Amino acid sequence: MRKIFAKCASLDARCRSEYGLTEDIMMENAAAALEAEVRRFLSAQPNGMQPCGTQPNSTQPCSGQLQSLKTQPCGGQLQSLKTLPCGGQSCGAADVLIVTGSGNNGADGWALARRLTGTCIPAIYPVKEPASAQCIAQAARAEKSGVRVVRTIVPCRVLVECISGSGFSGKPAPETEALLTELNGTNAYRIACDVPCGVDGRGTVNGTAFNADVTVTMGALKTALVSDEAKDHIGSIIVADLGIGRARYENTATDAHTGAGVLPGTSDAAGAQSRDAVPDAPAAPDSAEAPAAPFSVPEPELFLLERGDVRLPLRTGRNTWKNAFGHCAVFSGEKDGASILAASAALAFGAGLATLVQTLKRPVRCPPSIMYGETLPESTTALLAGPGLGAGTESAVTHIAARPELPCVLDADMLRHPALKTLLENRRAGCVVTPHPGELRALLERCGFGEPSAEDIRKHRIELLRAFCARYPNVTLVSKGANTFVADAQRISVFTGGTGALSKAGSGDVLAGLICALLAQGYAPREAAETAVFVHGTAGARATEPGGVASYGLIPELLIEAVRTFRAERANV
């Protein structure tokens, strides 16, 4: 699992103190990481990295009267400077437009412009004049290198946003919102430096935010990048280094001097620095022994769920039988379709048997692969209650309360029941709860956390998950959303690979069935939840790849089929 940090300031400071990396070195690496992505994109374009004309030095408009994107004949859909009537030599156009703030994030932009000069045409649009020491120094160097400063958003092929990074908080000022709206309206390839402007340190968006195609974040993954709200603004993520390997950079207080914490399968990109403002620490001589860090190095706040964290319920033995793979009992109520989907998912993910336990006396349209009855089978190894229960919820509560030794999954209607708190307190075996945001509010209220509002969930989701798991250490909480969090008393992990295709009735029932299947097969609750969340989200994404269904066409039955044919070696996320 990759580590995710709330802030990286103390990690930066430790690198300066222990490894002798000056802030200048770190910033040069940050600019190099941005440069690598700019060059990667431009090299793939028809005109490649060839300079599109000489540096413009005239303020006279070209024949097309191109003063800004708003007045372009192409309506902002510029692919190359050579498409302009003037070839980009007098209308102010640039290959790369870099929009800078006044702090260290802006300094990265000035350094990037300097590095690009000579091989393409960069331009700087300063939102504010340089104010931090690094920004002032980098601006002076860039200007000496001939970097051009513009005072309007000019046509460009690549747009790099270096306004605020991880230092943003609150709501953008009206003039910043207007600028971000204009930037988002360009047809350029958009790169955000560290964290898109408008996304705060907790990933909250309180107005307009920059929409990036890719975010080059510095040093390590940050909490701001894994919120639901940030998901539509960050694009893909590149983690750039500080000039030292990422695994070494991420070593925390307990492993900074031992080399522990070096994660298997890590790879390093060039570049980087945190956006948190930290005063320069004196550089240690190359021959000096690294001193112990005189400051607190934070533990990661979250962990990113990846392919290597998944253990599929593969069958390797030959001398076996169905009961060896567990028996899922799924309580069926008013809407039996939901429980049938859950039971079908459990069978698709390796459970040996699945039974619908009827809570209401009514006919059940059960497929032949799923058994049904009014009592709990003696061979049951895991329980699932919630999907479609309705009026049957009371009966399910009675059954579950009578079997505290069985692991269980609680979803949907079960999370709103008045007896929920008592059920969770009395569980002896593992329990996994799987709320969506509205159900999470109900769950927290039922379990004694007051009456959290939707705004509380939006802004303080991680803190609420941590508080819940501290009070209920035997419960694993799966908080569903655009990004899904898996929390227990030991850690919180997050899966970011889900897509909007999963926003369909029945998707949650499938996830609950997958978790129940793994519990029935003997998985520990957290491992069951993390594996199921990863497979559920990845299978859904694969089902809508080219050649699959449209993004709007993923129904639960197709999702179950994608799980049935899942192959971990293709899970490149």
Annotated binding-site residue numbers: 338, 388, 436, 480-484, 508-509
Q: Which of 402, 443, 411, 394 is nearest to 516 (CA)?
A: 411
Extract the runs of DSSP E, i.e. beta strands, from 259-359.
302-304, 327-332, 353-358
340 vs 37: CA distance, rounded Å: 47
Binding residues for (6S)-NADPHX: 338, 388, 436, 509
For 381-429, the DSSP string reads -EEEE-TT-GGGHHHHHHHHHH-TTS-EEE-GGGGG-TTHHHHHHH--S
Question: Partners of 189 in the beta sheet?
Answer: 158
SS3 state of residue 153: coil
How much of the chain is helix, strand and coil, in % rounded to 5? 35, 15, 50
Q: Is residue 80 classed exposed, middle or buried when 0-12, 13-18 and 19+ CB atoms within 10 A define those classes? A: middle
Q: Find out whether 93 and 78 touch, Cβ atoms under 8 Å.
A: yes
How far is residue 82 from each of residues 42, 53, 73, 348, measured CA to CA in Å?
14, 8, 14, 55
Nearest to 370 by CA among 415, 328, 324, 405: 328
- Binding-site residue ranges for AMP: 480-484, 508
Cα 496–Cα 500–Cα 502 angle in degrees, nearest 5 = 90
Bridge partner list, 158: 96, 189
Report the distance separating Cα 147 and Cα 55, nearest Å. Answer: 9
Q: What letter represents residue 409's amino acid? A: V
**How many angstroms separate the CA atoms of 397 and 277, rounded?**
53
Q: Which residue has the tokens 């509010």?
A: 441
